[in-house]
A and B are shown apart, each in its own frame.
Chain A
């Protein structure tokens, strides 16, 4: 750079070799692009602003003590707002979704990262991508019209109260599990593929089998990425709306029983805000208060998962 400038100066009559960044318009373009980047911050701020106003006026009418208890009956007279009912409902479907998705997702990830031949990987990975791209309304329809009747049929008699309700938390849970599997599989597979080959070769040289290498070397080495995928999966499950609206019912019910009809936070928001509720009514504000709870729950999990992913990237890449 220095040299180029001095040659330019001695040559004379050459166009200016000042730093290109200082040309007219360049600064304006940079500013414009920075504004585009800033829009993401504006969006987050807007989400917080949208949630916070009605939430504050909600807590003007409903005490914290009432909110953090059970009994969610916003349409009763007088209404009660015990958010634990719908929070536990969300945890219910999330729990059963993860019981399905964690073993299947991790199994698929280990298979793809450690066992599969390049040819199998080339076939299976796009199929998992297709699964990841199926709209949740389609998965919800599948859960309610295919999984639900099967569960009602095969559920053993009166076990846990029997599966004879019109909607079941576990039907939604399995649908959510199906949605989460590709998320867990692809992020975990990334993390396991990032584990240096040398670690595997060291273990093979000691006479370890593939299974031992996968479970005792690669799995622990990729643990932060695997945990990140699970946390992100939980966050997705907690925020999922259409599957729970269609398959889990709309009965607020603070239970983790898989064969109960429940209401999740998201399904309360969807069902309530869909009706023509008047702005400023307590029900309208309850939608935003529930939204705040949901936003904080997922925000915490997203931050954890982003941190964890960054950690394995820093270690191995």
Chain B
């Protein structure tokens, strides 16, 4: 121990000393440059403020417009065009919840399965695996209404011919959000260090045993976060559902495989397109309802990420 100052501290002193010397020798930066720098930083900060102001205005407007209609009737009452004071979102809300349940049932096995294949089995130098990868990236950016066309052409009509039922809407949404789950699950699986796998394989476990008992448990928080993000996307999606039947003004509770159905964002859209003030208020109240659900879900995702994230 020659010095009580830790080496990094010493390096910092040395740099500071050198900087002071250089500044003394060369003078400080030209005044114009400094002004320009401050101006630039100010402009950048303003652009962040504008984006934040947009978000704040959006939330404030929904709350102010929707406040008069905020009551439990939003959840318990069906929509109505006559009795707007007692109109709500009940069938649409049930429709959304049932649809989300189906969506989760479909995307978890399919998404995690695809992610395991791509991360653990696929040889990424093979062209077909690269095609799958490129495909998933592209699918994540295909406009949602195109999925609506897919649903209309092949699920509602065409080969599957399910008709305009809730399950058809759920299938369409599942296909739409599947890439999100796959991408998130792949990242979670990739974050599990190879040494975990090697240890398991060295003890004689098969590849599948290694994945099931070592890799997947370690990747669960990441996968769950991805699933929640996917579900919150599915919950807010409107456009594809317009094409696969969630459009009729539904006042009765929906059935999964039979009859008309609606979804929360679609019901909001229907209220929003009516010019009368009562419906605008209902639309805003519906948006509050939807945002509260979404923020709750996202908070769970963030909590999961922070609580169970493993640092290896």
Interface, chain A (partner B; CB < 8 A): 15, 17, 20-21, 23, 25-26, 29-30, 32-41, 43-44, 46-47, 49-51, 53-54, 103-108, 110-112, 115, 124, 126-131, 133-142, 144-146, 178, 181-182, 185, 207, 209-212, 214-215, 232, 235-236, 238-242, 245-246, 266, 269-270, 273-274, 279, 287-288, 291, 294-295, 298-299, 302-303, 305-306
Contacts and interface: CB of A to CB of B under 8 A. Distances in A.
B306 to A, nearest CB: 11
B54 A178 contact: yes
Contacts of A302: 137-138, 141-142
Contact of B57 (A105, A142, A211, A295): A142
B227 interface: no
B65 A145 contact: yes
Interface string B251-280: 000000000000001001100110000001
A44 B117 contact: no
Interface stretch (B67-75, B84-92, B198-206): B198-206
Nearest to B57: A146
A111 B44 contact: yes
B62 A141 contact: yes
Q: B-side binding surface: helix, strand, loop or mixed? A: helix
B138 A137 contact: no
A38 B132 contact: yes
B208 A29 contact: yes
B121 interface: yes
Given A33-B121, A40-B178, A137 B268 contact: yes
Given A51-B153, A107-B47, A141 B143 contact: no
9 contacts: A26-B208, A40-B182, A107-B44, A131-B51, A134-B291, A138-B287, A178-B58, A211-B36, A242-B269
A133 B225 CA distance: 14
B62 A142 contact: yes
Contacts of B232: 133
Contacts of A110: 44
A131 B147 CA distance: 23
A37 B138 contact: no
A232 B140 CA distance: 11
List 10 tightest A-B contacts by C-beta distance, closest first: A239-B143, A135-B236, A107-B47, A36-B113, A50-B153, A241-B239, A33-B117, A111-B44, A211-B40, A209-B37
A183 B312 CA distance: 30
Nearest to B146: A295
Contacts of B235: 135
Contact of A133 (B150, B201, B247, B298): B298
A107 B141 contact: no
Residue of A46, A103, A214, A266 contacting most chain B CB atoms (<10 Å): A46
Given A43-B175, A141-B62, A241-B144, A288 B135 contact: no
Contact of B48 (A111, A133, A139): A111
Given A33-B117, A207-B29, A104 B51 contact: yes
Contact of B206 (A26, A32, A303): A26
B272 A209 contact: no
B94 interface: no
Nearest to B240: A241
Contacts of B152: 50, 273
B50 interface: yes
Given A53-B153, A137-B265, A137-B272, A40 B236 contact: no
A21 B44 contact: no
B204 A15 contact: yes
B243 interface: yes
A102 B284 CA distance: 29
Contacts of B29: 207, 209
Contacts of B45: 111, 115
Given A23-B206, A146-B61, A302-B141, 11 more contacts: A30-B208, A43-B175, A138-B236, A138-B291, A141-B272, A210-B40, A211-B33, A212-B37, A241-B238, A245-B269, A279-B157
